[in-house]
Chain A
Amino acid sequence: MTQVTFTQQDGAQVTVEANNGEHLMKLALDNGVVGITGACGGSCMCATCHVTIDELNGSLAGPGEMEAEILDMEVDDPQETSRLCCQVFVSDDIDSINVTVMEG
């Protein structure tokens, strides 16, 4: 199990325990995280699941080529830690991860 914490734009936090293979967008939607809409359903084609990764205990591969390109096209000022959370999957390599919900 991996602990995932979402910090919303209003400062409220939602923490969930997640199973391997789940992506963070689905976790956010299932747990009512405000600000994640996932308008493309996790196709990596919009930025309505944009987050920044604040803290990571474990390891996670960086964004793929398409994700980087979409971040570049859809987000005004992408951060180095910006991710589309439909592309961030929970795995054994991650003990816990904290993300902030960004405008997308």
Chain B
Amino acid sequence: MIINDDSHADLTSHDTFTKGFPYNTFKRLRDEDPCAWIDETDGGKGFWAITRYEDIKELNRQPQIFSSAKGIRLEEQTEEEYLARRTFQETDPPEHTRQRMILHRAFSHKMIAKYEELVRELAAEVCDAALTSNEVDVVKQIARKLPMRMLGRVLGTPDEDGEWLVDKGDELIANSDPDFTDHVIDKVDTDEYRFMPFRSPAGKDVYDYAKKQMDLRLHTKMHDVLALLLEPNKDGDTLSELEFKNFFALAVAAGNDTTRYSLAMSMFHLANKPQVFNQLHGKADDDPIWDTAVEEFIRYAAPTLHFRRTALEDYELHGKQIKAGDKVVLWFTSGNFDERQFDDPMSINIERSPNQHMAFGQGGPHACLGMWLARLEVKVTLQELLKRVTSMQQIEKEKYLRSNFIRGIKSLMVRFQR
């Protein structure tokens, strides 16, 4: 396991995170400077880093002061770029609530629970295919394969488009990692794509694809989620074309990678901690330990490192004066390792309860729309994997994504015994 022990890591650099999450930097910030001003090394105007659990929660629940409507990543955007690219993530209530409730119809706990058998079928297929070898890159062969195929099934896009959509999703959200895109955001000029999602040429491809899917459903009666989203809600409200395209791009990007990296982190622990493996191995699918285990794996994985807000008014925190217009960055991953909230946060305790982690941005209006799907996919995939093996062990050093926005193990070689 790589421990990034640099306690003064540059949080604005994508390269920092290729060495793993800088736990010690965040511990130092939580302990010594929980509302720290961070200068950006790439031309940004700097930001406040909020790193304690309680503070993140407190700011996250106040969208009227800490707005998402001026961008949600560190990147500076012009008003024009923002308007072209914004998804409902980049809006505040009541505009946010309107779109969110239209989308919630398809992603509710009740609706997603109906997909369990389908997820199990896909997970079994993916695990069987991966386990034709005893040494497997489980991120590439399992964690990367499942989420987009599943999202395709939920949304209603054809299975054969799944691989293409995964590639596009990677190009979008991993726009800072040369393994996933030719247009690395901080290395090449991406100006011509500034109106596209994630400032990426893949954004245009995804927009075009979304438009085709939209037209198809407007002209042919279909019964899938995309069709449902295009139907008026009970108030007669629908998504506009741009809202639909931006939602689709968000689903392709976010539905793809965060679940992948949650699964990757889960398998990392299973491959390195035999006691965790043994605690879960042989447990029935309906054993309640699976629910607490999945929450704990996701707490630890916390793939979305941060979301940024912009202060709409002056605000004082820990004696620091946040000014209206300042960028305020909520480091959710840091919150999940805050000793003030979690006993022994660096340890995996698969029976941890309660486990009010914030990997899904819980507690604010932007809590993850796909959280039930993510939980279900992680649970069922791990269940199907463990049914097929008797032990698993990491055999090569893992590799981390180059991104200060999404945290993930992008390669993890594991030896299985069956």
| A residues in contact (CB < 8 Å) with B | 29, 37-43, 45-48, 66, 69-70, 73-74, 76, 104
Contacts and interface: CB of A to CB of B under 8 A. Distances in A.
A80 B233 CA distance: 23
A43 B367 contact: yes
A29 B356 contact: yes
B318 interface: no
A37 B356 CA distance: 8
Interface string B168-208: 00000000000000000000000000000000000000000
Interface in B96-119: 97, 100-101, 104-105, 108-111
Given A66-B101, A73-B105, A45 B356 contact: no
Given A29-B354, A29-B356, A73-B110, A42 B105 contact: no
Interface string B138-159: 0000000000000000000000
Given A66-B101, A69-B101, A73-B104, A41 B362 contact: yes
7 contacts: A38-B354, A39-B362, A40-B371, A41-B356, A41-B363, A46-B108, A74-B108
A66 B97 contact: yes
A70 B360 CA distance: 18
Nearest to A70: B104
Nearest to A66: B97
A43 B108 CA distance: 13
Contacts of A29: 354, 356
Given A29-B354, A66-B101, A70-B104, A43 B109 contact: no
How many chain B residues sit at the interface, stated as a range, is 20 to 34
A38 B356 contact: yes
Interface in B344-392: 354, 356, 358, 360, 362-365, 367, 371-372
A104 B358 CA distance: 20
Given A29-B354, A73-B104, A42 B110 contact: no
B109 A47 contact: yes
Contact of A42 (B101, B108, B354, B363): B363
Contacts of B367: 40-41, 43, 45
B338 to A, nearest CB: 14
A48 B109 contact: yes
Contacts of A48: 109
B177 to A, nearest CB: 30
Given A40-B367, A43-B365, A45-B367, A74 B354 contact: no
